Amino acid sequence: MPAACPVCGQAYEPEPGFYWGAMYISFAFSTGIMLGVGFAVYFLLHDPATWVYIVSVAVVSILLTPLSLRYSRTLMLYWFGGVHYDPSRAHIVRS
């Protein structure tokens, strides 16, 4: 992850330890993913064996970990970092 945005110069880590709060957001994402997959397995596969739950929750959680990390940091920046997205600047790229 770059230290700052190449378009607007926004620092991605406003202060040391800023992303400690993102851990809690990521934990909420992971909990939601695990509950969602668990309920989906229960209803779609009609309550299979326990190993099916464990494998499916583990595989989906591992596959979605990069997204969870990225979105938890993004939400932390939006909620507490004072960052506001400006769609009119989305096409600008500095070299």
Q: Domain for residue 10, yes or no?
A: no
Angstrom distances, CA of residue 25 to CA of 8, 11, 28, 90, 95: 25, 20, 5, 26, 33
Is 70 exceeded by the pLDDT of residue 49? yes
What are the tokens at 68? 């969870």
Q: Domain for residue 38, yes or no?
A: yes
Q: Domain for residue 66, yes or no?
A: yes
Q: Domain for residue 52, yes or no?
A: yes
pLDDT at 88: 76
Domain span at 37: 22-82
Q: How many domains does the chain have?
A: 1
Q: Domain for residue 32, yes or no?
A: yes
pLDDT at 94: 56
pLDDT at 82: 76
